[in-house]
Structure formats: C-alpha cells, structure tokens
Amino acid sequence: MENLVYIALFAPLAGSLFAALFGMSKKNIITGIVTSTLIFISFVASAILFSHVMTVGPVHVRMMDWIMAGDMLIPFGFLVDQISVTMMTVVTLVSTVVHIYSNGYMDHDKSFNRFFSYLSAFVFSMMVLVMSDNFLGLFIGWEGVGVCSWLLIGFWYHKEDVSREVNPSISPSWAANEAFIMNRIADLGMLVGIFILYWNVGSLQYDVVFAALPNLSDGILVAAAVALFIGAMGKSAQFPLHTWLTDAMEGPTPVSALIHAATMVTAGVFLVIRANPLYSMEAVHWVSYFIAALGTFVAVFAASMALVNRDLKRIIAFSTLSQLGYMFAAAGLGAYWIALFHLAAHAFFKALLFLGAGNVMHAMDGELDIFKMGGLKKVMRWTYLYMGVASLALSGIGIAGIGFAGYFSKDAIIEVAFNEHTYVLWTILVLTAGLTAFYSFRQVFLTFHGNERYHALGIHPHEMYGYVLVALSPLAILAVVAGFYKDWFEHFVTKLLPEYHMSEHTHHIAWILGLLVIAFAVGGIVLAYIKYNRGLKRNEKLERSFVYRLLSNQYYIPIFYEKTISKPYAALSRFSWGTVDQKVVDATVDGIGKFIKTTGDTTRKIQTGNLSDYLRWMAGGALLLVAIAFVAFKLSQGAH
Amino acid sequence: MIGLGHYLILSGILFSIGLVGVLRRKNLLMLFFATEIMLNAVNIAFAAISNHYHDMAGQMFAFFVIAVAASEVAVGLGLLVILYKKYGTLDLDAYTVMRG
Amino acid sequence: MLEPISVSLESLNLITLSPMLIAIVGALLILVIDLFKDTLDKTLYVMLTMLILFIDIGATYSLNINERGFFDLLLADGLSVVSQLIILLASLFFVPLALTASNKRFHEYAYPEYFALFLFMVAGFQFMVSTDNLILIFVGLETASLSLYTLIAMHNTRGAHEAAVKYFTMGALAAGFFLMGSVAIYALTGSVELYEIAKILQSQGADESALMLPMMGGVVLMLVAVGFKVSLFPFHMWTPDVYEGSSAPMAGYMSIVPKLAMVVVAMRIFGIYINLDIEAVSYLIIIIAVITMTLSNMMALVQKDVKRMLAYSSISHAGFVMAALALGTTKANSSIFLYYAMFMVTNLGAFAMLWISQHKKKHFDERYDHPFEKFSGMISVSPMAAVIMGIFMLSLAGVPPFSLFWGKLYLISSVVDFAVATAETKYIVLAILMVLNSAIAAYYYLKLVVYMFLKAPLASDTVVYANQSRPLNVVIGVLAMVTITSIFYVQPLLEFITYLVSSSGY
Amino acid sequence: MDGILTILLFFPLLAGLLGFVVNKDSIRAYGIAVASIEFLLSLWLWMSFDVTHAGFQFVENIPLVSDFGISYYVGVDGISLFIIIMATLMTLIGIIALNIKKDIKNLIITLLFLEVAMVGVFISLDAILFYLFWEFSLVPMLYIIGAWGGERRLYAAIKFFLYTFTGSLIMLVGMLYVAYVYHSVSGSWSFAITDWYALILPLDVEKWLFWAFFLGFAIKVPMFPFHTWLPYAHGQAPTVGSVILAAVLLKMGTYGFIRFSLPMFPDASVLYITPVAILAIIMIIYTAMVAYAQEDMKQTIAYSSVSHMGVIIIGTFAMNAEGITGSVFLMLSHGIVSGALFLLVGSIYDRRHTKLMSEFGGLASVMPKYAVIYGIMLMASVGLPLTIGFVGEYLSLAGFYKISPIMTVLAGTSIILGAVYMLNLYKRSFFGPVTHEANATLNDLDGKELAALVPLVLIVVWLGVYPKPVLVPIDNSVKALTSFMHEKAQTRVAKATIVVSKKNKEMK
C-alpha cells in the first residue's frame, strides 16, 4: 500500500515536471495527455487506497526526515485515513476531469504546456496538504497550493492593469498578487498556531498533538484554535479575507473550477475537520461557535452579492464562497462529517458548474457578462444540461430522500443549525438557500433562456468538443447521485470523525424543516424563472438603488481595502523611505559626517598662516592650559 | 632688603614684557629681541634661585642659556638674511603663503 | 685656593656617552673630509652617514641598562636606549632618501654640511633622551632644534624659508616656556635633576595646596614646551606649514624623531607627577590630548594636500600618544614606543612616497605640491606604487594586519586596561574617543586611497614618480615589507620594548 | 588532515598574489579555477568534518604575539562550516557570472583576497585574528564598490567602509576589555575565544560589553538604524560585489552575535532580548515597507536583505536551539537566495543598463528562463516551504515564539510584507504587456549566467527539501552552545567576580 501512497502523491509531480520540460516550447499535446494520464493514475491509486482504508484501515508512511533542530523533528510523513482519502479521491477525480477538460479548453493557448505544469503542480501540493501527517507538512501543501494558485490566477500575466471600473479584478497579475498576499496574512495565523502547538506539545504530528490536547490549558487551546482558524479563513476566503476569491476568476476557467471551487478553497474547511479534536474541546466551544456564525454570515453575505452580479464566473465564485460558509457552519457546530460530505458534494457540482461556465465562455469568445448572453440552450444543449443539473444540485433540490447531491448535504447542515438551537443561524441558512436557488437560476435563465442577445456582439457560439463533454459526465453523474451515498459515507468517515446525531426532536420534525428549505429553494427558482426566463428586462430604477449598488460593488469592500490598507500602506512606505530613511536616519549619519567636516573647515581657519597669530595662539594656549589645569585640579580634588 | 621674591617678580615682569613683545611685534628682528628678553628674564631667575639654594646648577643653567641664546641668534639672523633677500621685508604678515 | 679636581676616567663611565660621541665625531669627520676635498659626491656622504648611524646603533644597543655616567648627567636607562634606537633607525631610513634620481635636483644634499648638521641633530636628540638633567635636556633640545631649523631652511624650495622661520620663532618662544618651567621647578625643589626633584616632591608631599600653585605653573609651562615639540593643540600651528615647506622625507622625519625625543622628556618630567598620583596632571594631559586628536583630525579631513593632511594626522597621532602617556603604566609607556616604532615605518614610507613624486621646479599647482588630485588613478599609472601607498594609508588608518594596527591595538589596550584596573568609566570614554578619532582619521587616509584607486588618472602621468630612483625604491620596498609583515615581528619587538621600559621603572 | 584550514585560508592568498603574473586575457579562467579549487577544498572540509562532534575541529593554534596572547588559532564547528562553504561557493559563482571587462585582473585578484578575509573571519577562534580578517575584508570590498560601481560609487564605498570601521573599532575596545579582564583573572593574556567563554563577568560589565560588541555587529548586519550604508553599497556595487556583500559579508555580523555575544555575555544577552528584538522587528517591518517603496529593483532586494537579516537576529536572540539553528540556516539560505537575486538583477542590468522597475514590464514574455529562475528565487526569498528560505525562517520564528508570542507575530509579518514587495517587484517587472521597445528584443539568459544560477536553484530546492545534512551539524554545535550558555548562567552566581581596585599599582 505504501507504494500506492507514493504513486498517488508523486504522479502529479512527475506530470508537472514533465510538462515543465516543455514549459517554454510551443504547444505540445503530449504534455496534456501525459499529465492527464498521470493524474488519472493518481486517482486510481487514491481510489484503491479508499477501498483499502475502508476495508483494512488507515495507512501511515514516513518517507524521510525534513527539519531537525533542537527538539523539533518534522518528517515527511503521509497519513491516508478516512479524511485524507476522501479528500484525495475528490481532488484527484476533479483534477482528472479538469485536466482532460483543459486539453480542450486551452487548445489555442500558446502557453499550453506551462498550464499543465502548473495545474499538476497544484494537484501535487494539494495532495501534500491533505496527506501530510503533521501540521508543518500540511503547511507545505498549504503554501504550495498558494503559489500554484498565484501562478494560475496570473496565468495570462501579459494582460495590462485596467481600472477597477472596467474590470473589478484589475488584471490577472494583480489578482494573483492579491490572492497570494491575503493568503499570506492568514498563513501567519496558521504559523502561529503551529508554534503554539509545538511549544506546548513538543511535536507537530497529528496523533501526538491530538493525544496531548486534554493536558493543555484552556488559554492555549483557544489560542491554537483561533490561530489555526485564521489560517483557514485565508485559504477558504472567509470574511474579511474574501475579496481575493472573486478576483481570482481572472485565471483560466479550469483553474477556477479546480482550485477556486473544488479543492484549494476547501482546504480551510479541511483543516478544521482535520483538527476536529481541537475544535471539539470544551474550552474552545465559543471559537467553534464563532466559526459557525462566521460561516453563516459569509453564506448570506456572499449570496447577496451573487444576486446582482453580471459576471458568469463571479456569480459562481460568490456561490462558492457562500457554500464554504455552509461548510464552516457545519464544522463549527460540530458536524464535521457533514461538512466533509458537503465539501465533497460541492466539489463535484461546483466544478461542473464552473466547467460549464468555461464552455459558455469558450463559446462566447471570452465574454462573461450574462446580460449579453441568452438563449444559448439551442446551441449548447449539453452544457445547458450540465449547468442545469449543477445548479439544481447547488440549490439543493430534492424531496423525501430523493434529490441532487446538494439536497442531502446542505439540508443536513441546515438541520444541524436547528438541532444546535442556533435558530438565528438556522434562519439565515434557510434564507440563504432561497437566495442560492435564485441567483443560480437567474444565471441559468439569463444564459440559456430568453432572447439571443449575443447576436449584438457578432458571436457565433458553438458547443464544446465532444470528448470534453464526455469527460464532464462523471461530475454530472456525481452531482446527481452523490447524495445517495450519504449514509454510506457517514458510516465510513465516522470511524475517524465524531459522529453527529440529531436530537429526537429534530429528527421528529426533520421533514418539516426539509420542506421549508425546499420551499425556499423552489421559491427562489420560481422567482428567477418569472423574472428572467423571457429574457432580460433591465430595471433602471432598481439598478440605481442604493442596495443594488452596494451589492454590485461588493459592499464597497475592495474599494475600502484599497483606500484604507493598500494606499495608506504605499503612502506610509514612501514616507518611510523618503522621509524617515533618507531624511532622518541617513541624514543623521551624513549629518554627523557633515558636522565633523564643517567643524574641520571652521577650525581650519585658525591656521591663518600668519606667524603672529601662531604665537598668540601659543600664548593663549598657555592661558588655556592654566584654565584647564585649574579645572583638572578641581576635578581631581573632587575625586578625592 | 631685596629678597628672592623681588628677583622673581623682576624676572616675571621681564618675561611678560618679552612675551608681549613676541605677540605684538610684526618685525622679525624685534621679535628676536623680545625672545632674548624672555631668555634673560629666565637667567635672572636662575641666578637668584641658585643663590637662594646655594646651588650651582642654576648658574650653570643660566650660562648654558646664554650660550644657546647666542647660537640661536646666529641661526636666526642667518635666516633673516635669506628671508630679507627673498621677500624684501621682515614683516611677519608677508610670510603667509602656507595656511589652512 | 681651589682644590684641583680629580675625576677618575672610570667614574665618568664614558661608554654612556659613546652613542652621541659617535654621531658628533662622525659629523666632524664629514666636515673634515669636505675641508680636504669639496668636490665629492653626495653618495659618499650618504653612505658615510649611514655607516656612522650604523655604528651608533651598535653602540646604543650594547649599552648597559640603567647606568649613569659623566657626572651622573647621562642616564642610559631602557627609555633612552629604546628611544635612541628608534631615532637612529628612523635616521637610517631617512638618509638614503637623499639619493634621488638626479644629482642636482635638490641641492641641499650636495652640501656635506647637510649631513654634518643632520648628525649633530641626531646627537642632540640622543642627548635629550638620555639624561634626566633639565640643563642637558635643554641643551640637547636646542642643539637638535637649531640644526633642524637649518636643515629645513636648506631645502630652499618655495616655502622652505617661511617654514624655517615659523618653526624657529615658535621654537624660541617654546624654549622660553621650557626655561620658565624649569625655573618654576627649580624654585620649588632647588634641583634640576629629575630624580632628585621626584624625591623632593615626594618628601614634601604632593597634596599640599601651597605647593600646588607653583607646581601646576611649572607643569603648564613645561607642557607648552612639550606641546610645541610634539605638536599638541594649540601649539601645533607650525606643524602643517613646516611640513609643507620642508622636503617630504624631512617632514616624515619630523613627525617621528623630534616628537619621540620630546615624548621621552615628557615621560620623564610628567612621570614624576603621575607617579605621585597628582591626577590633575593626568587630566590636563588627557584633555589636551583629546582636543588635539579631535581637532587635528577634523582639520586633516578638509585638507586638499596630502602632505598637509599627513601633517595634521601626525598631530592627531601625537594626541594619541599623549593620552597614553598620561596613564603612566608600564604598558602604556611601552605601547608608546611600540606605536612610534610602527608609526615610523609607515609614516616614513608614506612621506617617501610623496618624495618620489616631488619635483624641484615643477609644482603641481600654485599652492600645493601634493594635492589629492595628483594621485588620481595612480593604480593604472603605476600600480605597484599605488598598492604600496595604499598599504601605508591603510596602516595609518589602523587597518589590520599592517604595522600601525598593532601599535594602535596595544595603545588602546593600555587605556582599556587602565580603565578596568581603576574601574574609572572616564578612561573607557577616553578609549572610545580614541577609536572614534581613528574612525574619523580613516576617512582622510581613505580619501587618498580613493583618489589613487578609484578615480580616473590625470593626463600627465609622469607627475607621480618624478623623483624615483633605485635607492628610493629599495627604501620604500623595505618599509613596505616591514609594514606588511609586522605581524611576525610584533612579538619580539614588544618583548624587547617592554623589557627596556619596565627595567627603567616606567 | 589537520592543516586543512590553513590551506583553505592561504590558498586564495597565494593564488591572488600569483594572479598578478597571469595574463589579462586568461585571468577569468584562472579565477574560476582557483575559486573552484577553493570550493572543492571547502567541500573536502565538510567531508572530513565529524558530524557527531559538536566542538571545534581542525583546530590549529600557533602563538603570534605570545606576550599579548594573540595567536593563529583557527577551527570550525557546525555553525561556521557551512558559512565557509557558502562563502567559497558564492565567490565561485560570482566569478563565473562576472560580466566586467574593465580591469578584470584587478577585480579577480581582489575577489581572491576578499575570499581570504571571508574564510578568515569564519575560521578564526582568536578575537584579534577575527578582528584582523573582519577589518581587512572591508578593503577589497571598498575597492570593488569604488572601482566598478555605479555613479555614486565613491560615496557608497566610503560610507560602507567608514560605517563598518567605526562600529568595529568600538567592538575592538570591548575585545580589549575582555582580554584585560581575562588577564587579571588568569594572569596571562589570551584572545582565544574559547578561553574567553570560560570567563564569568559581572553583570554590569557584561552589559556594556554587550553593547560594545553589539555596535560592531549591528552595523555589519546591518540593523536598524545603522542600515543606511547598505542600500548605497548595494545600489552602487557591481553585481559580484552585491552578491558577496549580501551573501557573506552581512553574515559576519550575525555570526559575530552567535560566536561572541551569546556565549560570552549570556546574561546580558538574555537581559537585552527585548530591545534587540524590538530593533529587529522594526528592521523587519520598516525596511520591508521601505523596500516596497523602491523604484529600483536592486534597492528593493537590498532593503529586503535588511528585512531578512532581522529574522536572523530574531532567531539568534531566541536563545534556544531551534531559533539559533534556524538563524544559522537562514544565513545560508539568505546568502544563496539574495546572492542569486543580485545576480539576476545584474543580468538585466547588463542588458538594459537600468534597474528601474518602471523601465521593465512583461519580461516574463521575453525572457522566460530568466523569469522562471527569478520566480524560484523570489519564492525562496518569501519563504516558500520546500525551498531553502522556509526552513530557516520557520525555525527562527518558531524559536522566538518561546520568548515572546506577540513579538513573533510582529516579526512574522515578514512573510506577509516580504510577499508584498517581492510580488510587487515581480509584477511590475515581469508581468503585464511589454511596454518598452527595448525590452522586446532582450536575450534570455546565456550559458554563463545559467552556469552561475542553475547550481543555486538546485541548492535552493535541495536544501529546501532535504536540509538534514546541513541542519544536523549546525544543530549539534548550537545545542552545545545553548547548553553551555545555560551552564554558565548557572555557575555565575557561585563564581567570584573580578577583583577591581581603585588604583592598580601592580600594573606599574
């Protein structure tokens, strides 16, 4: 089994390096094929490991030592247990699909090879992240995915910076930097969490740390939990570190699907799930509650912004954000396995949604404004189908135990909120379910139904290549059927994760709750149908209203950040350099030099060259000596 | 009765006169004279103290001072001659090429 | 009737007189040779002088330590031996610098009197350092000084006479101060023998305030005279002008030998007070030393002429030495000699480098002979010379491992030791002031290095070695080697100096 | 092989002297050959190094000035070993990448002399010997900056020299003080730092000695507010000068802290953790901001050096094995990475004769290889795991966390702010469209440049993934150091302090 672990882990790396060899040469389809194959191999290995874990149990391998200093010993160790194998399978599966998809999507890009190199490198990093058996190993992957995300968001680096009005993300390279830096802010929190654990436990191995938790004081537990969650907030784009995620849509769409929907952004949730022994501690219950509350807030917050957005990919990005909020809500409330389940299910339908959006974009020559689309279902039947399915899954449509993937996972989360007597959260989550359905179908209807507004642009849309559509089918299928494996999945992961049981009461009224949620969801869809099925009718008055503008400008948060952080930081930096460094610190140093020189110039004037003056100085010096002698005498008397 | 103190005061006064001469005079020759006064002031003091202590060293010192003063004048006058040839004046203010 | 004086030759212990005698006889010999034939070449006299100095060194080296002679006037203690050796070695390096490229260029060397006067001067310095009698100190001082004035005047280029008269007049005034100081001491103690003065002062008790006034008066007057000779502020005024006006080797020589001789005298005179724990004297010297090194450093900083810069720098070095002198410990006194030994090779080397670039008629500009610009880009014109000059400058700046670094190290170490031993913070402050001054000094030494190595060369490139000749090259080469390899002989040298200094009780 | 250090030290000296004979056209090959041999010698040193042994190895002790206790006393331990190897490596790389035609002979000979000084500093176990090489290293650097530098090279060179010279002179007073204390305790003179380690000083003496040494080291590091010489030096120095300055010369300061300050003044060091750490944090944050404000690519990297050196200081003053090992490792990684970055800036400067970011833009499209290597080095610089930069930074911060969590968080902003200015630099220079015509036709890295850079890239990855062979020897020596400091702190209470009399007459 050990070899399988290594195959699963290193196959993507091999692919990445292989593609990197051709990184600077012209498009070579081989790279696409080889990397896709290697990712598929990795998927197969992961799947075998999955069954192995299910039947036999976890696999733990230790490759070699990494850092050894003082009492610190960090190995490269890999742990394949229920949590990680779930993640591995999901990651490699989605990755495989995305890789194959990219072969078609990136067809005309001159940096085809480079793209695959980055993409596979990302998969490798993600695998390290989920498979590592210690926190620092996780951090490797954590940073690795960050860099790959940076590379991939900025993939079209040659694009110019434009103003925020023209493109809210300014440029790919700008968005990439924003993502990286925001993640770094959170990473510092993560690092501090690691320090806290190291100095209080003496190790960073998961098993050792979790075993030692009961011995730690409350303060330390809280500090560690908070610090680690700050790390999670960055990677999972939770408020207030969320702005990078929508800007990250500047990257190629497969990237958005893989990294910014299915895998990387869920790493934060993964961390909380992985560290569930910590977050389940009694001492940190309010931290967990805060996580849940924040998650709920982000769910509705992101959903509200999605309501008015016109950018196909950004809508999906907001919805990702919103769904991440759901996951955190579940994890924060202690329903870790439900969070993990939603994570997996979400990965499937969200990736599908994104890839579908990619098809649309491909067809529309890169146009993303849904106001300029419409009626595409005629030419893009399959894509319409996929996106419809994904949207239904996202909206959580289903009834009485039959439904799309989202129905099972999201409903469960809402139920948990009710079960924990956090009725405020529950209310918000239910409301958000309605919003989710509305914006999902607003997008679907505006894109695929109604009048064909794209004619104005002179575009002739066409369906994506066949093999790409075939490649998407596993995701579509999973988006439909994944929910049915809920109980099986629960059984599988609760061997490791704490079980979560609904109370008697909740269980009793579960069907009412479910009905309520479905009512909201269906309500949202119906509303969207009424408003947008016939085509686009712009409501100028609404668009000028304060709320609409607030939402479409993302609550003015990016501008707020720019005005209160980026610009002041730049100004302060210039001040530090121009004024403090040059005019104070350096000027002081030079000032000392100048002072000495000026004194020298002044003193030099006494050297007049006139002998008479010299003689006077000599006699004067004698007097001076007398004076000094007197002082020195007094001094020495004083000393006695 | 004239005591040691009076001699020393005389010596001090002469020394001061010489010093003031050195400081005030601009003519080199005059300046040399002033230094001679200073040396002679010293000689008076040496002689007086020598007498006071009944110690011959002071007088010996005075003789040496006289001898040295003589040779100093010899060298000094030699210098003056060259300088006069070169600058045409003995005014100190003329010799200020080197400064700073 | 006076009784006939009978003095046994043995009691005179004439051997203690032999070093000076050799120099004087040598000088007379040169004069006599000149009487017989006056067309002899300067090379003869140079070599003759060197041989005489060589014998002199031998005689000095073989002196028995701590013997008195010649009616107890002469004192051959360790101090006198070590200082005479340094003086003679410096002279030995100085004399061959007369062998410049063209015979007629600097005509002072054509006169045999020059070498005779030189030897008289050496004898004068030797007298100064090997006696503790104020009379003989004065006589030695004046012998040396009068010869020196003449030597300077003989250079006979522009400025030489001005330099000589400035030096001469101030020297005369300083002599007056020296004598008045002697009067004060004599009046106070009734003796001109320093060892007796020390005894008397000790028995009288130094703390009596009644004594304090004349004593301090004597100290102050003496310090003026010492300050003139070793060029302490504000008695240093002559130094830059005289250095500028005299030939480069002479300037280099003046920055070492007269100063060292006077430092030894100061050590003998002020040592009395310092040993008596009259702290006021130490403070006085230290204050004047600190002012000296600081101000002269600052003035050196703004000089445009290398020779003047080196003049100011030698003032600053004197300040360094005086600071150590005020401590009065064996280590401090030894460090002074180590410092001067190291300073000698480097400084003479630096001035010798200036010497090879000096031209009798062709001056660099209206005012200066050796402005910094002259050495611009020397690295590309004559790399070896630039490297050697650079090494001399770095050595002066105290960059290890060159010679003066060891002198500085040991000297500052002696100050630090004193601070630790007495637990006085002010001496640490002194040490820090000294190193800060070294840092300032580094700037102007570096300035020359910068000009030589980092600037573009001048159009006329012969200007930097107008005076070059093989003997000069040899001398400079030897000095450079001695500067570079100092690390290997510091140990024996230090051992030797410490032995001599401590054996004579300083 | 006992004389290996002597060979290592004197080989470049000899080679430098012989280099005067070599013909100007062949001097570069000569330089590469000599530097390679020296590098191989240092590798040989590593091979013969006993990894399990924490103390000094290959020790040689020959008295030089026995009356004053100065000796030729050299040896290496795990801490110095790798810095020496880095010094020889960076010299080699610097010479390989050399792209200067003017006076190349002088330059190569100067570099070889500089190598002597660098090796000397890190092998010296005698304070005066250390000081000797320390000061002497200024001279070749002065020449390199001054002779082959940019427009304001003279100003920069002199500032560099005087600033460091002043600081180290104060340190020299401190050394002399310690030597005298040692003398008065033991009766003999010694400048051997192993002897000095045994000395237990009164706390108030330790305090001021700490600051005396601190000044010398801090200026070299350079710590805020003594850092202003560095941007000028880097800004004006030729590429090879910047490489060696950043890679090796700055490390002398931090090495000094570990070799002198910590073991000699453990109590004062502990006492002054907070002020030193505050300075280091100011260094990290403030210079990171200043780096962000720069227009000149090289200045950004210069200021980033200062910022990273702050992390090294933080690690050193963590006073535990994790922190100190981390800081030593960070010295290595910073040396390699910043050296490489300066080489990279040098490459573009050679092509465009400007270093202003505004002059570039879109370089990634024209010079992909350049962009890739730059990117790797940039990521190593911001401390990406699995590159060399992470290990040291992580360990340093982790070590300091034990001292103060809050200050660690502040120091940890390094990873954020570092990303800010580095990514900004990369974005402005490499991303976006090609805006300047001149950039459109630039050639990518040539063979010479690749030969210099690719080994560094390999090292960056190798030591990022598998730092163990380097970490273990460092860690052994550091553990010995920390346990020694601990012991010393224990025994100080019992030991008698030095006897100080008002006037020490015995001296006379």
Token duo for residue D95: 């010479």
Q: Is residue C377 part of a domain?
A: yes
Give ipTM to 2 decimals.
0.90
C-alpha D117 chain-centroid distance: 13
A33-47, A361-375, C319-333, D52-66: the lowest-pLDDT one: A361-375
Q: Is residue B75 part of a domain?
A: yes
- In percent, the amount of chain C with pLDDT more than 70 equals 96
Average pLDDT, chain A: 89
CA nearest to C329, candidates D188, D180, D67, D507: D507
Q: Is residue B9 part of a domain?
A: yes
Residue C92 has pLDDT above 80, yes or no: yes
CB contact under 8 A, A615 and B23: yes
Domain total of chain C: 1
Largest CA distance in chain D: 79
Residue C462 has pLDDT above 70, yes or no: no
For residue C501, the model assigns a pLDDT of: 92
Please give the residue range of the domain that contains residue B33. Answer: 4-95
More confident: C298 or A164: C298
H or E stretch covering D109:
helix D104-123
C459 burial type by CB count under 10 A (0-12 exposed, 13-18 middle, 19+ buried): exposed
Angle at A262 between CA A260 and CA A267, to 5 degrees: 80
Over range A476-486, report the average pLDDT: 88
3-state secondary structure of B95: coil
Q: Which of B35, B49, B68 lies at the smallest CB-CB distance from C139?
A: B68
Instruction: List all chains that touch chain D, counting a touch as 3 or more CB pairs closer than 8 Å.
Output: A, C
Over range C247-268, report the average pLDDT: 93
B35-39, B89-93, D250-254: the lowest-pLDDT one: B89-93
CA nearest to C297, candidates D184, D96, D166, A45: D166
Residue C2 has pLDDT above 70, yes or no: no
| Best C276, C404, C416 residue to mutate vs chain D (most D CBs within 10 Å) | C416
D443 and chain A in contact, CB less than 8 A = no
Residue C148 has pLDDT above 90, yes or no: yes
Q: Which residue of A has its CA nearest to C244?
A: A609
A319 burial type by CB count under 10 A (0-12 exposed, 13-18 middle, 19+ buried): buried
Gap from C353 CA to chain B (nearest CA, Å): 22
Residue C345 has pLDDT above 60, yes or no: yes
For residue A136, the model assigns a pLDDT of: 92
pLDDT in tens, D283-329: 999 999 999 999 999 999 999 999 999 999 999 999 999 999 999 99
Residue C48 has pLDDT above 90, yes or no: yes
Please give the residue range of the domain that contains residue C94. Answer: 11-503
Token duo for residue A176: 């990439």
Domain total of chain B: 1
Alpha carbons within 13 A on the beta-carbon side of A132: 26
Q: Which residue of C has its CA nearest to B27?
A: C169
CB contact under 8 A, A609 and B100: yes
The pTM assigned to this predicted structure is 0.92
| Best B56, B97, B99 residue to mutate vs chain C (most C CBs within 10 Å) | B97
For residue A366, the model assigns a pLDDT of: 80
CB contact under 8 A, D162 and C442: yes
For residue A104, the model assigns a pLDDT of: 85
CB contact under 8 A, C277 and D503: yes
Instruction: List all chains that touch chain C, counting a touch as 3 or more CB pairs closer than 8 Å.
Output: A, B, D
Ramachandran region, residue D442 (left: φ > 0; alpha: ψ -120 to 50; beta: rest):
beta
pLDDT band at D13 (very low <50, low <70, confident <90, very high): very high
Residue D505 has pLDDT above 50, yes or no: no
- In percent, the amount of chain B with pLDDT more than 70 equals 100
All residues at 6 or more sequence positions from B72 whose CB lies less than 8 Å from its CB, including other chains: B35, C142, C146, C172, C175
- In percent, the amount of chain C with pLDDT more than 90 equals 58
DSSP string, A263-306: SGGGHHHHHHHHTHHHHTSGGGHHHHHHHHHHHHHHHHHHHHHH
Q: Which residue of D has its CA nearest to A640?
A: D502
Over range A605-629, report the average pLDDT: 88
Give contacts of D368 with chain A, Cβ < 8 Å: 23-24
CB B93 within 8 A of CB A612: yes
H or E stretch covering C55:
helix C42-61
CB contact under 8 A, C417 and D161: no
**What is the identity of the amino acid at C465?**
Y
pLDDT in tens, A252-298: 988 988 888 888 999 999 999 999 999 988 888 889 999 999 999 99
Q: Which of B60, B71, B83 lies at the smallest CB-CB distance from C135?
A: B60
All residues at 6 or more sequence positions from C162 whose CB lies less than 8 Å from its CB, including other chains: B83, B95, B97, B98, C241, C245
| Residues A190, A275: Cα–Cα separation, whole Å | 12
Give contacts of A608 with chain B, Cβ < 8 Å: 96, 99
Strands C74-76 and C67-69: antiparallel
Q: Is residue B100 part of a domain?
A: no
Q: Is residue C2 part of a domain?
A: no
H or E stretch covering C282:
helix C279-301
Gap from C19 CA to chain A (nearest CA, Å): 34
For residue D498, the model assigns a pLDDT of: 40
Residue C208 has pLDDT above 70, yes or no: no
3-state secondary structure of D192: strand
More confident: C40 or D159: D159
For residue A638, the model assigns a pLDDT of: 66
CB contact under 8 A, A596 and C298: yes
Give contacts of D412 with chain A, Cβ < 8 Å: 188, 191-192
Q: Which of A608, A612, A619 lies at the smallest CB-CB distance from B99?
A: A608
More confident: B71 or C368: B71
**What is the identity of the amino acid at D40?**
L
Residue A23 has pLDDT above 90, yes or no: no
For residue C6, the model assigns a pLDDT of: 73
Token duo for residue B90: 């003995």
A70 and chain C in contact, CB less than 8 A = no
More confident: C205 or A477: A477
pLDDT band at C279 (very low <50, low <70, confident <90, very high): confident
H or E stretch covering A69:
strand A59-69
Over range C59-87, report the average pLDDT: 88
| Best A64, A67, A109, A589 residue to mutate vs chain D (most D CBs within 10 Å) | A67
A591-595, B24-28, C333-337, D277-281: the lowest-pLDDT one: B24-28
For residue A639, the model assigns a pLDDT of: 59
For residue D1, the model assigns a pLDDT of: 56
Give contacts of B98 with chain C, Cβ < 8 Å: 159, 162-163, 240-241, 244-245
D and B interact (at least 3 Cβ pairs within 8 A): no
CB D125 within 8 A of CB D193: yes
Gap from D269 CA to chain A (nearest CA, Å): 20
Residue D460 has pLDDT above 90, yes or no: yes
Over range D240-261, report the average pLDDT: 93
Sign of the four-CA dihedral D94, D97, D102, D106:
positive
Q: Which of C135, C164, C165 lies at the smallest CB-CB distance from B61?
A: C135
For residue A588, the model assigns a pLDDT of: 92
| Rounded alpha-carbon distances, angstroms, from residue D165 to C389, C433, D143, D154, D210 | 20, 14, 15, 16, 18
Give contacts of A619 with chain C, Cβ < 8 Å: 173
Residue C380 has pLDDT above 90, yes or no: no
Residue C496 has pLDDT above 90, yes or no: yes
Gap from C234 CA to chain A (nearest CA, Å): 6
Give contacts of A616 with chain B, Cβ < 8 Å: 23
pLDDT in tens, D409-455: 999 999 999 999 999 999 999 998 888 888 888 888 888 999 999 99
pLDDT band at C210 (very low <50, low <70, confident <90, very high): low
Residue D507 has pLDDT above 50, yes or no: no
Residues of C with CB under 8 A from a CB of B: 134-135, 138-139, 142, 146, 149-150, 153, 158-159, 161-166, 168-169, 172-173, 175-176, 179-180, 182-183, 186-187, 190-193, 240-241, 244-245, 303, 308, 367
CB contact under 8 A, D432 and A161: yes
CATH code: domain of residue B8: 1.10.287.3510
| Best B24, B79, B96, B98 residue to mutate vs chain A (most A CBs within 10 Å) | B96
| Residues C422, C404: Cα–Cα separation, whole Å | 27
For residue C463, the model assigns a pLDDT of: 60
CB contact under 8 A, B99 and A612: no
Interface A-C: count of C-beta contacts within 8 A = 99
Q: Is the peptide bond before D225 cis (omega within 30 degrees of 0)?
A: yes
| Best A610, A616, A626 residue to mutate vs chain B (most B CBs within 10 Å) | A610
| Residues B11, C333: Cα–Cα separation, whole Å | 36
Give contacts of A577 with chain D, Cβ < 8 Å: 289-290, 293-294
Give contacts of C241 with chain B, Cβ < 8 Å: 98-99
CB contact under 8 A, A603 and C288: no
- In percent, the amount of chain D with pLDDT more than 70 equals 96
Q: Is residue C3 part of a domain?
A: no
- In percent, the amount of chain D with pLDDT more than 90 equals 74
Neighbours of A57 (CB within 10 A): 12
Give contacts of D471 with chain A, Cβ < 8 Å: 67-69
Q: Which residue of A has its CA nearest to B25?
A: A612
For residue C56, the model assigns a pLDDT of: 94
CB contact under 8 A, C179 and B65: yes
Q: Which residue of A has its CA nearest to D289?
A: A573
DSSP string, B67-89: HHHHHHHHHHHHHHHHHHHHHS-
Residue A602 has pLDDT above 80, yes or no: yes
pLDDT band at C454 (very low <50, low <70, confident <90, very high): confident
A and D interact (at least 3 Cβ pairs within 8 A): yes
CB contact under 8 A, A625 and C223: yes
For residue C155, the model assigns a pLDDT of: 85
Q: Which residue of D has its CA nearest to C379?
A: D106
DSSP string, A321-383: HHHHHHHHHHHHTT-HHHHHHHHHHHHHHHHHHHHHHHHHHHHTTT--BGGG---GGGT-HHH
pLDDT band at C14 (very low <50, low <70, confident <90, very high): confident
Q: Which of C173, C244, C367 lies at the smallest CB-CB distance from B22?
A: C173
Average pLDDT, chain C: 88
Residue with tokens 């390899």: C485
Over range C287-293, report the average pLDDT: 93
- In percent, the amount of chain A with pLDDT more than 90 equals 43
Over range B3-28, report the average pLDDT: 90
